[in-house]
Amino acid sequence: MVSHVDDEPATWLDARADEMADLVMALVAIDTENPPGRRLRECGEVLRGAMARLGLAPELIELGDDACILRGGAGEGSRLVYFHGHFDVVPAQRRDQFRPRRRDGRITGRGTADMKGGLASMLYGAAAARELGLLDDTRIVLHCVCDEETGSAVGSGYLREAGLIDPSAVAMLTAEPTGGVVWNGCRGAITLRVDVAGREAHVGYANTGVNAFEHMLRVAQPLTALAHELFARDSMLIVGGASQSGANFNVVPGSAWFSVDRRFNPGEDLEAEVARLTDTIERAAGDADVSVEVLQRAPSASTDPDHPAALALVECVTEVEGAAPVVELCPGVLETRWYAQLGIPAFAYGAGGLDVAHGPDEYIDEAAMRRCAAVYARYASTRP
């Protein structure tokens, strides 16, 4: 592969450092916590304005209940590359996380790393590629969805169902907080809610009640044993990440529930893992009144690290950063799966760090954000 791109993207982006920072801060100031998924349309409108100013032909698709998708693009060629991101964020630890701060080359606040800073990299990378005449026969399509943090069935699921992801695309990039690593694949995800029914009774008549908490512990025990068995194989399961029981300390709990979250590796089968979890629960339940709701079932996905599209991305990162990046499996779930399942080479590469994403002091380095945008601009113009 021979790249015809010089340092023009970096120069173009550095001249717009304040613009990019202002966009990130405007996005962070909008509380798009998910769950519950608030102020999504408002954030979508800010993104639409930014995309319009950059000449990226935005289209806002309303999905009801405040949910929305932003689509845009640059170039008119037949060679299609997707840039994909999300603007919802995990719940904050403190309300002041929605008051972004810019200091010493960093922007701090909820969603800076995951991934409102990444959105700025995507938008400005696409604009740089177009403005500098780098696209030739390439067309970039931008997708910004609103529900990645809760499984993305509404946003990315809609894109799939509506036929808005073209399987002939040559690549997809998402600016998740990889910290300079290239993620070429991701684990799959299964999320369950296990409900246990009992019968309430006053503490003075506790012997007449049915303790749902007691039954819940019995059901959870073999799942926790399974979790430790899976850890030994670098495959993940969390039991009770969320849970609730009863009405008060002096009442036999008449209901209880807990979550089960399974992250499985490429090579492990989605349906087999769902069956293993539900069978384990059913065996442990015995005569207890237990029901299971499947909240998320997402297959794993990966692209061969020796695929030409992967090698081209590695070369682009090397040109910008001066060193070749590590290529590895993401420890979690990625939006890349929606594209890889259609046969599109799909990768995550972003400036934010996974070590600070979702944390109370989340931040993004501005220079790294601009370098990420330069990688995006180069990648769109590169021919593997």
Tell me the β-bridge partners of 140: 74, 81
pLDDT digits (tens, 9 = 90+) for 248-269: 999 999 999 999 999 999 889 9
Contacts for 63 with CB less than 8 Å, ≥ 6 apart: 69, 146, 154, 155, 158
Q: For residue range 112-138, what is the model confidence (pLDDT) as tens digits? A: 999 999 999 999 999 999 999 999 999
Closest by alpha carbon to 263, among 293, 301, 225? 301
- In sequence order, what DSSP letters do the residues of 17-41 get, joined into one string? HHHHHHHHHHHHTS--BTTTT-SHH
Q: Where are the domains of the chain?
A: 8-186+300-381, 188-298
Summarize the confidence of residues 136-143 as an average pLDDT: 96
Average pLDDT over residues 64-92: 96
Each residue of 225-242: pLDDT tens digit? 999 999 999 999 999 999
Closest to 252 in 3D by CA, of 191, 202, 300: 202
Contact (CB, 8 A) for 69 and 158: yes
With residue 85 as reference, give the H or E element that holds it. Answer: strand 79-86
d(CA 199, CA 211): 7
- What is the second-level CATH architecture of the domain 188-298? 2-Layer Sandwich (3.30)
User: Residue 3 — very low, low, confident or very high, per pLDDT cuts 50/70/90?
Assistant: very low
Contacting residues for 128 by C-beta, under 8 A, at least 6 apart? 9, 12, 13, 134, 373, 374, 377
- The secondary structure of 239-298, three-state, reads EEEEEEECCCCCECCCEEEEEEEEEECCCCCHHHHHHHHHHHHHHHHCCCEEEEEEEEEE
Which pLDDT tens digit goes with each residue over 191-218? 999 999 999 999 999 999 999 999 999 9
d(CA 358, CA 362): 7
Kindly report, residue by residue over 303-340, the tens digit of the pLDDT: 999 999 999 999 999 999 999 999 999 988 899 999 99
pTM of the model as a whole: 0.86
| Residues 331 and 231 sit within 8 Å (Cβ to Cβ) | no
CATH number of 8-186+300-381: 3.40.630.10
- State the DSSP code for 210: B
pLDDT of residue 383: 72
**Chain centroid offset of residue 55 CA:** 26
pLDDT at 2: 35
Q: Is the pLDDT of residue 5 over 60?
A: no
Residue 4 above 70 pLDDT? no
Segment 276-299 shows an average pLDDT of 94
pLDDT of 381 higher than 90 = no
What residues contact residue 355 under an 8 Å CB cut-off, 6+ apart?
A: 179
Please state, for a pLDDT cut of 70, what percent of the chain lies above it.
98
Q: How many percent of the chain have pLDDT more than 90? A: 91
Q: Give counts: helices (H), strands (E), the chain.
A: 10, 16
Average pLDDT, the chain: 95
Give the residue from 260, 248, 252 showing the smallest Cα distance to 215: 252
The confidence score (pLDDT) of residue 246 equals 95
Is the distance from CB of 253 to CB of 200 less than 8 angstroms?
Answer: yes
pLDDT of 1 reads 33
HSE-up of residue 361 (Cα within 13 Å, Cβ side): 2
Query: In this predicted structure, what is the pLDDT of residue 173?
Result: 98
pLDDT at 208: 97
Q: What is the pLDDT of residue 153?
A: 87
**384 pLDDT tier (thresholds 50, 70, 90):** low
Band of pLDDT at residue 157, cut at 50, 70 and 90? very high
